[in-house]
């Protein structure tokens, strides 16, 4: 079973032709993990790009996420079938709960049981969560069993490193995956990151991705530019010193970008 690549391509906010073309470009430059979600409303376009890429299904790692409005007993599994139809796939590699359910009328147990069922039915290879707090992670592990939660996808970037949750993930053997790793472009302007990038003849984005790998954090940055996609994938040529890693660690100021009104009580 294919492992999740260290670097994937995120597709949040990409729609229509832009989504199709960006995913095609990502696959052309060498990306093999594509991350989408029911809520992004681009699964069909992602599916088009995957289908026309000429790549073997076994080479690809595809993630999608169940939106909280589909977490009810009657909607959950049909919504996954709908996602697969749009993606033109028989299974995804990773299926996530996009957000913990914000109300009281659907229990954590009921929708995680359905997540486990989807895996049993072969519709996904791995299951996981997104935007789960330490408390919710613990509860989810009790329901699903140790080793079942593949990843917790959370906001992580140099200015909001989510250290407590990342640590909790590591303790439980759960991969931490960073969405918004470039803080919506803020990393490109940060003086510390620019200085480090210049000394390595690299981009600030490459520096952030190299730092994330050192900190055992997976990443799914989004880009529509083929040049930037190729640059991001080439981050492996950047070898940061311990003091540079420490400088990036020190940029953490808890600056959260994604905080909708249905978010859980963050750690």
What is the residue-wise DSSP string for 92-109?
Answer: EEEEEESS---SSSS-HH
Q: How is residue 89 annotated by DSSP? A: -
Residues that constitute the known binding site for substrate = 98
| HSE value, Cβ hemisphere, 13 Å, CA-based, for 221 | 31
Neighbours of 56 (CB within 10 A): 7
- Here the tokens at position 24 are 């095609």
Angstrom distance (rounded) from CA 140 to CA 256: 24
- 124-130 and 33-35 beta bridge pairing: unpaired
The closest of 34, 39, 30, 101 to 65, measured between CA atoms, is 39
Instruction: Note if 40 is an active site residue.
Output: yes
Q: What share of the chain is helix, strand, coil (3-state, %, to 5)?
A: 45, 15, 40
Q: Three-state DSSP class for 63?
A: strand
Q: From the CA atom positions of the chain, what is the Rg in Å?
A: 18
Angstrom distance (rounded) from CA 159 to CA 69: 30
- Here the tokens at position 193 are 């990151």
Using CB atoms within 10 A of its CB, is residue 2 exposed (0-12), middle (13-18) or buried (19+)?
Answer: middle
Q: Which of 40, 150, 218, 235 is catalytic?
A: 40
Active site residues: 40
């Amino acid at each position: 079973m294919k492992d999740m690549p260290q670097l994937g391509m995120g597709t949040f906010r990409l729609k229509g032709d832009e989504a199709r073309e960006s995913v095609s470009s990502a696959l052309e430059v060498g990306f093999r993990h594509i991350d989408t979600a029911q809520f992004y409303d681009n699964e069909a376009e992602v599916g088009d790009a995957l289908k026309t890429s000429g790549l073997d299904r076994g080479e690809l790692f595809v993630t999608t996420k169940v939106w909280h409005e589909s977490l009810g007993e009657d909607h959950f599994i049909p919504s996954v079938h709908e996602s697969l139809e749009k993606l033109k796939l028989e299974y995804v590699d990773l299926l996530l709960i996009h957000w913990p359910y914000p109300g009281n009328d659907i229990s954590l147990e009921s929708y995680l049981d359905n997540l486990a069922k989807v895996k049993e039915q072969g519709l996904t290879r791995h299951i996981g969560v997104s935007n789960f707090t330490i408390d919710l992670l613990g509860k989810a592990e009790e329901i699903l069993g140790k080793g079942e939660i593949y990843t917790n996808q959370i906001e992580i970037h140099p200015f909001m490193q989510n250290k407590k949750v990342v640590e909790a993930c590591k303790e439980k053997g759960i991969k931490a995956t960073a969405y918004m790793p470039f803080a919506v472009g803020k990393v490109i302007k940060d003086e510390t990151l620019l200085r480090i990038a210049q000394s390595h003849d690299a981009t600030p984005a490459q520096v952030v991705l190299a730092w994330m790998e050192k900190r055992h954090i997976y990443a799914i940055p989004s880009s529509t530019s083929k040049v930037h996609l190729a640059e991001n994938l080439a981050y492996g040529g950047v070898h940061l010193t311990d003091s540079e890693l420490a400088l990036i660690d020190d940029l953490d100021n808890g600056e959260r970008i994604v905080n909708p009104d249905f978010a859980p009580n963050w750690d």
